[in-house]
Structure 1
Amino acid sequence: MKTYIYLLTFSLVTFLGLNESLGQGNLIMINYAPTLPLGNTADFTSNFTGRGGNFEFYWMRSNQLGIGVEIGSVSFKDKIPDRTFSSGTVTITGTQFRGQASTPILVSAMYILTDKGKLKPYVSIGAGIMQNTQRIDLGIFVQQVSSRHFAFKPELGAIYQISDYVGIKLSGKYYQSVGNNTIDSQSMLGINLGFVMINFNN
């Protein structure tokens, strides 16, 4: 996790420095992100969760085009009765308590379809890494695996500009990670409700 924090800090400092000399401004977004698990994620833990959020920073090259970074976190919980758990030579059956934590850290590009008016629809795409951790608890037995994956994210949304400096946003983000030998590919759909801080030079 320290590596992730260093990466995010370096990216923010770099983008803020470049913004002063080359950019039009920046957007900072703080999002609440309830999330629906899909695919293999839903097979492991199927519950829709309200335990999600993310932070985005965009360095705007123009009023419509920006590049930036995103770091987020989402946590799923599920309770599944009558499941079998095996550890070494021991096999037991009972209620499993399952949990999954996913942390995407992505570089993103955003394009605002129109910068006229207060409502600004946009599309974005991102790619980077996603840290996934899965845990199963059954009585005294615990199984936990963790793995880092390549991941990508398309997004469709809109920003409503309340004033020159503040806006709100609504968007849908689809996250897809590439599986490996530890954890299969993971996918989820996040509904982002966000607060936007706007700072343009012109």
Structure 2
Amino acid sequence: MKSKYIWFFAMMVLSFSAMSQEKYSVNYSVGIPTGDTADFTESVSWRGVGFDYTHMLNQEWGVGISASLQTFYDDLGYVTTTEGKETVSANRYNYINSLPIYATGSYFINESADFTPFVSLGVGVMYNQKEQDLGLHVFEEEAWQFSLRPEVGFEYDVSYGLGLRAAARYNAAFKSGDLEGLSHFSIAVGVIWTN
């Protein structure tokens, strides 16, 4: 009797995986600092890359994972900083490296057409490394922060199994330990392929 249930369950899993569609995308992203991130590095980041994987549950809903890396950088030039009795004059550079990793849920509108808009929500963590280089002195803080990422975008099928993807994302990180929440907005453009 138990073997019937095991076989039934195995057949359901196999048929589900045979009907499912997997989507993969590699993206280039431009990062726009917001909040505490903009207070530390106000320049737009042109250094970003990401990867997204979506397992389609049906024609409209998908679940997956998303990871990206965005590097923010500001050259503040030659500055003089005084803290307590110590004064340092040197070139100052500010860096923030953000590595968000999310579990995602996505809703695709009009999946059967070539042009497919979608909305997505990611829940996960973001590793943020905040660094200030002042001459030979390096001041660094880092933390894993709880993070949410709402996203809106579209996919466009170019040919069978290959397409283009564009999305606007807000990576919201929350304060962790002594490090403030370092959030940023990003625009991601890339290629997508399906199996």
- In structure 1, what is the equivalent of residue 4 of structure 2? none
Q: Answer yes or no: is the 8 Å Cα contact 2:143–2:177 preserved in 1.
A: no
Residue 97 (structure 1) aligned with residue 93 (structure 2): yes
Secondary structure of 1:137's aligned partner: strand
Q: Which runs of 5+ in 2 are unaligned?
A: 1-11
Which of 63, 66, 72 is the matching residue for 2:59? 63
Q: For residues 173 and 59 of structure 2, what CA distance do their matches in structure 1 show?
A: 31
- The match for 1:8 is none
Partner of 2:106: 110
Describe the superposition over 1:26-68 as per-residue Cα deviations: whole angstroms up to 9, x where unpaired.
1001000111111100101011011101101111001211000
2:153 aligned with 1:177:
no
Is this contact kept in 2: 1:85–1:138, CA < 8 A? no
Q: Which amino acid aligns with 2:38?
A: A
- One of 74, 81, 86 as aligned partner of 1:84: 81
In 2, Cα distance between equivalents of 1:56 and 1:20: 24
Residue 75 of structure 1 pairs with residue 68 of structure 2 = no
Change (3 A) 1:96 1:51: same
Percent identical across equivalent pairs?
Answer: 27
Alignment: residue pair count: 181
Check whether the contact 1:130–1:151 (CA below 8 A) recurs between aligned residues: yes
The 1:55/1:83 distance shift into structure 2, 3 A limit, reads: farther
Measure how far apart 1:139 and its partner are: 1.1
1:128 alignment partner in structure 2: 124
Partner of 1:12: none
Shift of 1:116: 3.1
Instruction: Give the CA RMSD over aligned residues.
Output: 1.9
Which residue is equivalent to 1:22? 16
Distance 1:21 1:193 in 2: 33
Find the aligned partners of 1:168 and 1:83 in 2 and give their Cα distance. Answer: 47
Distance 2:141 2:82 in 1: 15
Larger Rg: 2
**Unmatched 5+ stretches in structure 1:** 1-17
CA distance in 1, matches of 2:29, 2:145: 21
The alignment's TM-score, normalised by the length of structure 2, stands at 0.87
Q: Is the 8 A contact 1:109 1:125 kept in 2?
A: yes
Q: Distance in 2 between matches of 1:27 and 1:98?
A: 36
Once residues 13 and 69 of structure 2 are traced to their aligned partners in structure 1, the CA distance between those partners, rounded to angstroms, is 27
2:194 matched residue in structure 1: 198
> Which of 151, 160, 166 in structure 1 is aligned with 2:162?
166
Separation of aligned partners in 2, 1:98 and 1:21:
52
Structure 2 Cα separation of the partners of residues 19 and 183 of structure 1: 44
